[in-house]
Amino acid sequence: MSNSPDVLASYRRAGQASADAAGDVIEGHVAGTAAAFFDVDNTIMRGASIFHLAVGLARRNYFSGREVWGFGVKQLRFVLSGSENLEDMASATTAALAFVEGRRVDELLELGEEIFDDSMVDKLIPGSLALAQGHLDAGEEVWLVTATPVEVARLLARRLGLTGALGTVSEIEDGAYTGRLVGPPLHGLAKAEAVRALAEREGLDLSQCWAYSDSANDIPMLSAVGNPVAVNPDPTLRAHARDNDWRIRDFSRREQVKRIALPALSAATGLAAGLAVGYAVARTRRK
């Protein structure tokens, strides 16, 4: 994807929006100049968090089966094309957001609490949680950074006892989703921009900060801090980490990440949700 001025401005807008939507530091977390930033999917949690969320929503009849079936087919074609063009991403995400247009945020969060308990707790990665706890014990903030909707990301951070979260920001009016995003999904360069914006807001010194991820897509975020760590990294990130003398953490087989074999873009909010829901509906129809 070309890093044209317009594209970079779009990522900066998404990053700033995510930092603005991150909310206040959770009570009891003492702000300092160092913090740790954790990717979620396959770093904190096995698989894609938005996949688990969307399947849980589908099972709770949050979506219409007829709408999802047609949308899932369209999104599958998009994923298989492998496109990471910004306009293609925006188009796919806009189509996916139609599913939550007009739905209330508090409704999604209430269901999200249930889905966390039912479908996410058993997918948490103990080794990564231990790393996060180590930073908390050292008096450092710990933030999640994910393409998942920021409201859900903040829910995850709260349930895990972390400082807060950066996530994809959707427009909200009168407590309901409008069906539009504020900038692109928090993916790739947008994550790095969000970390920089949050660091400025919180008075963090990025040279003292840490970042953790399993994916080469997060190299921009990892490069933004003084202490990048590759956690059970994919081959591209492992090679990059070795070339740049970054720390690499490989957990035991029991704690190894079980990857969902989808392109990087599938982690983006709307697309993964569409695929996940289509998958859930397809399974339901086969039963």
Catalytically annotated residues: 39, 41
For residue 217, which of 182, 181, 262 has the smallest C-alpha distance?
262
> How many angstroms separate the CA atoms of 46 and 39, rounded?
11
Chain Cα centroid distance, residue 109: 16
For residues 33 and 206, is the Cβ–Cβ distance under 8 A?
A: no
**DSSP one-letter code for 29:** P
Strand positions, DSSP E, the chain: 35-39, 141-149, 164-168, 170-173, 176-181, 210-213, 227-231, 247-249
**DSSP one-letter code for 28:** T
Neighbouring residues of 282: CB distance < 8 A, sequence distance ≥ 6: 69, 72
Terminal-residue alpha carbon distance, the chain: 41
> How many angstroms separate the CA atoms of 153 and 81, rounded?
28
